[in-house]
Amino acid sequence: MSLTTVSSASFLNIPRVFGLGRAASPPPSPPRTRTRTRKQRSPPNGSRPARTRDNRRTERPRSTSISTLSSLVSNRPPPIDDPRTSWRKSLRELDKQPKSNTNRVDKWRLVEESVRSGSVGESRATESHDLQSLSDEDIFALTQNIKNEEASRRPLVSPISPLSELRLEFSPFADVIGTTESGVSDYEGPNANVLRKIDWLRKHGGWQAIRRTRGDGDCFYRSLAFAYVEKIMTASEPGLAVATSLSHLESTLPLLERAGFQKIVFEDFHEAFADLIQQIVPAPGKLPLTNESLLENFQNPEISNSIVVFLRLLTSAYIRLSPEDDFTPFLIHPDTGEMVDVRTFVETFVEATGREADHPQIMALSRALRVRINVAYLDNSSGSPLEDGTLPIDFVKFSPEGSEEDGMKPVVLLYRPGHYDTLEEKLDP
């Protein structure tokens, strides 16, 4: 396999040119005192009108940095008379309610009601922006923007919250409506199986809490990294666990170089991860890593995102250098369902930040870190309930060779379609 050298700029998707547009044209000369009247020529069909002093080309804006442009765009107030502003507000208010699986019909029913009540604007504007004329792409774009805005307000990693809060997000659509004479809970509603599984996690699985991560496409890598460091902190012999982890991370660096990554690309990202683990057993005179400081570090975008990038690089390198039979059958385009080659897969769906992880990425990173990962799949699929009405949840387990030798428990993640969080056994870690 040929090695591909990936530069820092190409991997991080950092534009090489930070100026947008061309340089501004020189300002026009002031008009002369003496004026002339020129005869206007009739432009031929399809051509531009002739330029005059009263019809000058507008001056192009000066080059603007990407960060400045993004700030201007994000801070720009929406048009006052645009009815979509009120639609977005209505949808945002709806998304704040604990109805995570509200479908398209429910959302647009709310918007139509606001239109009829006159909250969107004048009837003339409503008629010109008929809801029924919106395509599926328009609706998807609006709802996706709302989700992105809401996600950006959440911390990268949140404090622990009880599973009962997650249950409340689904209870408006399903709940226990009573119990039978034998004490079996009677569930009802479109999401009844989700509640059955959450209740099983609490009653039979031994899980009492959840630690949420921001749904930005990096949630798997961020959740795994946090839980990985947390497992080292709670190991029976933290000093040995730290030494083993740091030694193994150091041994992965040649793997990255063999995959074609330049050392200047990954060394800072590796250092951020290694320094955080080293703080568990600090040098004399330094404070040890605590649960509070661990959370603060992962809420710091510079540290948290550096760790995410390092894990993405490590995942990519492992897939690139593994035998073809290990991953090739699983490299599928998530949107089209078509098979893709290794290079296309890792460059598009592994190295690029903001792309969700699936089975190949989890398997590769589990082997690269030599850590056991259990993923609980929380969905609305049916099954055979237990006597108390709860429904056992499916766990997919990744156990690479040699991962049990460190004596640490597996990292346990909770997967809901498109998102990963961390399951916790206790409310107080």
Please list the residues that pair with 176 across neighbouring strands: 187
CB 316 within 8 A of CB 365: no
Q: Inform me whether the pLDDT recorded for 108 exceeds 70.
A: no
Q: Please confirm, yes or no, whether 248 is among the known catalytic residues.
A: no
Domains and CATH numbers, the chain: 83-152 (no CATH), 157-424 (1.20.1300.20)
Residue 261 main-chain phi, psi, to 5 deg? -85, 135
Question: Does 222 or 35 have the greater pLDDT score?
Answer: 222
Q: How much is the pTM? A: 0.67
CA of 208: how far to CAs of 60, 165, 194, 282, in Å? 59, 11, 16, 31
The angle, 0 to 180 degrees and rounded to 10, between the axes of the packed helices 342-349 and 301-321 is 170
pLDDT at 102: 40
pLDDT band at 291 (very low <50, low <70, confident <90, very high): very high
Question: Does 123 or 246 have the greater pLDDT score?
Answer: 246
Q: What is the DSSP letter of 206?
A: -
The percentage of residues in the chain with a pLDDT greater than 70, rounded to a whole number, is 60
Q: Please confirm, yes or no, whether 219 is among the known catalytic residues.
A: yes
User: To which residue do tokens 């056991």 refer?
Assistant: 372
Average confidence (pLDDT) over 209-229 = 96
Annotated catalytic residue, options 219, 270, 406, 421: 219
Spatial separation of the C-alpha atoms in residues 221 and 232, rounded to whole Å: 17
Return mean pLDDT, the chain.
75
pLDDT at 176: 64
Spatial separation of the C-alpha atoms in residues 357 and 339, rounded to whole Å: 16
pLDDT tens for 383-416 read: 999 988 899 999 999 998 876 766 788 999 999 9
Q: Inform me whether the pLDDT recorded for 234 exceeds 70.
A: yes
Joined together, the tokens standing for residue 339 give: 């098979």
Please list the residues that pair with 186 across neighbouring strands: 178
Annotated catalytic residue, options 175, 218, 406, 419: 419
68-77, 147-156, 265-274: lowest mean pLDDT where?
A: 68-77
pLDDT band at 188 (very low <50, low <70, confident <90, very high): confident
DSSP 319-355: HHHS-HHHHGGG-B-TTT--B--HHHHHHHHTSSTTP
Annotated catalytic residue, options 175, 216, 218, 421: 216
Q: Please confirm, yes or no, whether 419 is among the known catalytic residues.
A: yes
